[in-house]
Amino acid sequence: MTGVPLAFYIGLSAAMFLIGMLGVMIRRNPLLLLLAVELMLNSANVALVGFSRHWDDSAGQIFALVVMVVAAAEVVIGLGLVVATFRQRIELDVDQLSTLKG
């Protein structure tokens, strides 16, 4: 009874994911939105690495690394968009960016 069972890691992951998700839904500031998305991505990584440990296979860790790369890319584009909208003197509110309305 020294190690931590997988269940705990998965539980942590689920909790973080839900928190991040809630953040995505209730925040209107795009910066905060992006931060919440980071949280969700991280929670996924925890699960991935946890299962990697469980199955004794490095694939999960590789996955986690790829997710990080994707997160980096996403942040770059997301922040680029934030800056671009800011330069147009548009308020930092995702609800204002609704030109895709059908």
Partner 1 sequence: MATTLGWIILALPLLGCLALALFPRHGEPPKGPVIAIGVGSILIAFVLSAVVFASMLAEDPSERLHVDSLYEWIDIGGVSVDLAIRIDTLSMMMMLIITGVGFLIHLYSVEYMDHDRDYRRFFAEMNFFVFSMLLLVMAENFVFLIVGWGFVGIASYLLIGYYYQQADAVRSAKKAFVMNVIGDVGMVLAAFLLVRELGTLDYSEVFARAGELGPESGTALAVCLLLFVGAAAKSGQMPLHSWLPDAMTGPTPVSALIHAATMVTAGVYLIVRCYTLFDLSSLAGDTVAVVGMVTLFLAATVALMQVDIKRVLAWSTVSQIGYMVMAAGLGLYASAMFHLMTHAFFKATLFLAAGAVIHALGGEQSLDRMGGLRRHLRVAYFAMGAGCLAIAGFPGFSGFFSKDEILAYSLAAGTLGTIGYVVGTVAALLTAIYMFRLLFRAFFGPDPDGGYAHAPHPSRWWMAVPLSILAVLAVVGGWIQVPFGWHLIDDWLAPALVGAPEISPSHTQEVVSLIIGSIVAVAGIAIAWYLFGADRERRLRLAGVAAGPRRVLEDGYELDEIYDEALIGTTRDLGDALTRDFEPKGAGGIISAPVAIVRGSARVLRAAESGLVRTYAFALIAGVGAAGIVIVLAVVR
Partner 2 sequence: MGERITFAIAAATALVCSIAVISVRDAFRAAVALIGALLSVAVIFVLLSAPFVAMIQVVVYAGAIVVLFLFVIAYLGERRTVGAPDRLARWQFLSWVAVLTLGALAVIAFFNSDLAGFRDDPRPTGNIGDPDAIGAAFLDRYLIPFEVTSLVLLVAAVGAVLLARRAVQREGGR
Subset of residues 67 to 96 that bind partner 1, contact rule: CB under 8 A: 94-95
Side chain identity at 83, as an amino acid letter? Answer: V
Residue 88 near partner 2 by CB under 8 A: yes
DSSP class per residue in 41-58 = HHHHHHHHHHHHHHHT-T
Q: Which does 56 bind (CB under 5 to 8 A by kind): partner 1, partner 2, none?
A: partner 2
Q: Closest separation between CB of residue 42 and partner 2, Å?
A: 5
Residue 97 near partner 2 by CB under 8 A: no
3-class secondary structure, 89: coil
Count other Cβ atoms within 10 Å, centred on residue 47: 21
Intra-chain end-to-end CA distance of the chain, in Å: 57
Q: Closest separation between CB of residue 32 and partner 1, Å?
A: 12
Residue 90 near partner 2 by CB under 8 A: no
